[in-house]
């Protein structure tokens, strides 16, 4: 049985897909696509699913669906085709591209695990207790490691996502720091973690939404995906240390996206946090007396939209009845 066949079992969200660089919404949609590809009546693998059906199954709104689809198409994992009048959008998983990406991810993780084992000196007694993942010497070994990582919720973001100086996340460098034993500290509430950078599900959802806004705004000029652990970490710091509410973070970020100057200068949660006071003061100063009610109404709408999104995405694991 191939890796993709294993991925089409009833639990439809596979954490491993996040490490393919498509984000949490992209991973959720890809999981659903893999599930439905084996249940379509079309022998060529094409299946139809409406925007409403996607929202019912995943909790993602229209913009989140569009962002997820764009990432999957750009990565080569998803194909789209409009058919009929009125046109309906059909989907198909590019199994060859996905299989190759999963095997590459499996190999990298196995090599990393072996490297950790060989790099850590230990006594004979410690070696007897130490459990290290063996490098896969067959296709079955690769599939097993992918299946295991699909259930992880706090695995480390892959090294390929490090920032470059001209990237929006360049002020959020990746961190490889760990505890004295060489292991990342245990953070029970973490949905994503990389070194000292971590965030809860709530932080990761907002960070992923912020990245989606940036992708939608820049289009083909979008940079590569940033370190989402660092983005979620900045959101968490704004909540915990600065006392910001999620709805206020989201509202100020959207204000920046619409501003002629700040749209180009605020392109990461860390930058938003750094400039928060200046941004808030300028936003308040630019408000005209007659616009105050309209702005407050807009902020309430943003808050309600975010609350609805959170309630729709409360669970990351979706069970299907056969």
Residue 304 lies in a domain: yes
How many domains would you assign to the chain? 2
Q: Is the domain of 244 the same as that of 104?
A: no
- 264 and 217 Cβ atoms separated by less than 8 Å: no
The yes-or-no verdict on residue 170 having pLDDT over 50 is: no
Among 40-49, 158-167, 190-199, name the one with the lowest average pLDDT: 158-167
Say what the pLDDT of residue 253 is.
Answer: 95
Q: Is the domain of 143 the same as that of 227?
A: no
Task: Over range 94-104, report the average pLDDT.
Answer: 88
Residues 19 and 44: their CA atoms lie apart, in Å, by 27
- 13 and 31 Cβ atoms separated by less than 8 Å: yes
Q: Of 139, 137, 158, which is closest to residue 15 (Cα–Cα)? A: 158
Residue 183 lies in a domain: no
- 38 and 32 Cβ atoms separated by less than 8 Å: no
Phi, psi angle pair for 8, to nearest 5°: -95, 20
Q: Is the domain of 138 the same as that of 222?
A: no
Q: Is the domain of 141 the same as that of 57?
A: yes
Q: Is the domain of 18 the same as that of 97?
A: yes
Range of the domain at 81: 1-152
Q: Is the domain of 119 the same as that of 203?
A: no
Say what the pLDDT of residue 225 is.
Answer: 84
Q: Is the domain of 131 the same as that of 2?
A: yes
Residues 8 and 33: their CA atoms lie apart, in Å, by 9
Share of the chain above pLDDT 70, in %: 62
Task: Over range 257-261, report the average pLDDT.
Answer: 91
Task: Over range 183-193, report the average pLDDT.
Answer: 77
Task: Over range 139-158, report the average pLDDT.
Answer: 45
Say what the pLDDT of residue 222 is.
Answer: 81
Residue 165 lies in a domain: no
Q: Which is more confident, 218 or 13?
A: 218
Say what the pLDDT of residue 157 is.
Answer: 37
Please provide the distance, in angstroms rounded to a whole number, between the alpha carbons at the two ends of the chain. 19
DSSP string, 214-261: HHHHHGGG------HHHHHHHHHHHHHTT---HHHHHHHHHHHHHSTT
Q: Which is more confident, 25 or 178?
A: 25
Say what the pLDDT of residue 190 is.
Answer: 85
The yes-or-no verdict on residue 73 having pLDDT over 80 is: yes
Q: Where are any strands of DSSP class E within the chain?
A: 47-48, 78-83, 88-93, 192-194, 197-199
Residue 34 lies in a domain: yes
Q: Is the domain of 214 the same as that of 305?
A: yes
Q: What is the pLDDT of residues 109-130, one digit of tens each?
A: 777 766 666 655 554 445 444 4
């Amino acid at each position: 049985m191939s890796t993709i066949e294993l991925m089409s079992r009833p639990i439809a969200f596979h954490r491993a897909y996040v490490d393919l660089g498509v984000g949490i919404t992209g991973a959720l949609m890809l999981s659903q696509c893999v599930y439905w590809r084996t249940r379509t009546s079309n022998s060529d693998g094409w299946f139809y699913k409406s925007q409403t059906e996607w929202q019912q199954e995943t909790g993602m709104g229209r913009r989140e669906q569009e962002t997820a689809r764009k990432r999957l198409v750009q990565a080569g994992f998803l194909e789209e085709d409009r058919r009929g009048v009125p046109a309906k959008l059909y989907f198909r998983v590019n199994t060859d591209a996905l299989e190759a990406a999963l095997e590459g991810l499996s190999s990298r993780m196995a090599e990393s695990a072996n490297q950790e084992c060989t790099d850590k000196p230990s006594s004979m007694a410690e070696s007897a207790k130490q459990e290290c993942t063996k490098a896969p010497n067959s296709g079955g070994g690769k599939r097993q490691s992918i299946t295991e990582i699909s259930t992880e919720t706090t695995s480390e973001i892959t090294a390929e996502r490090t920032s470059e100086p001209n990237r929006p996340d360049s002020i959020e460098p990746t961190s490889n720091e760990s505890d004295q034993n060489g292991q990342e500290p245990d953070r029970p509430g973490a949905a994503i973690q990389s070194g000292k950078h971590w965030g809860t599900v709530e932080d990761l959802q907002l960070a992923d939404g912020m990245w989606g806004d940036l992708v939608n705004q820049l289009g083909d000029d979008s940079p590569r995906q940033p370190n989402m652990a660092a983005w979620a970490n900045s959101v968490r710091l704004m909540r915990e240390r600065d006392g910001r509410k999620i709805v206020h973070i989201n509202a100020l970020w959207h204000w920046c996206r619409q501003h002629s100057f700040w749209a180009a200068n605020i392109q990461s949660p860390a930058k938003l946090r750094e400039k928060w006071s200046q941004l808030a003061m300028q936003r308040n100063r630019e408000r005209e007396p007659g616009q105050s009610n309209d702005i407050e109404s807009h902020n309430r709408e943003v808050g309600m939209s975010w609350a609805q999104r959170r309630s729709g995405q409360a669970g990351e694991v979706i069970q299907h009845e056969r």
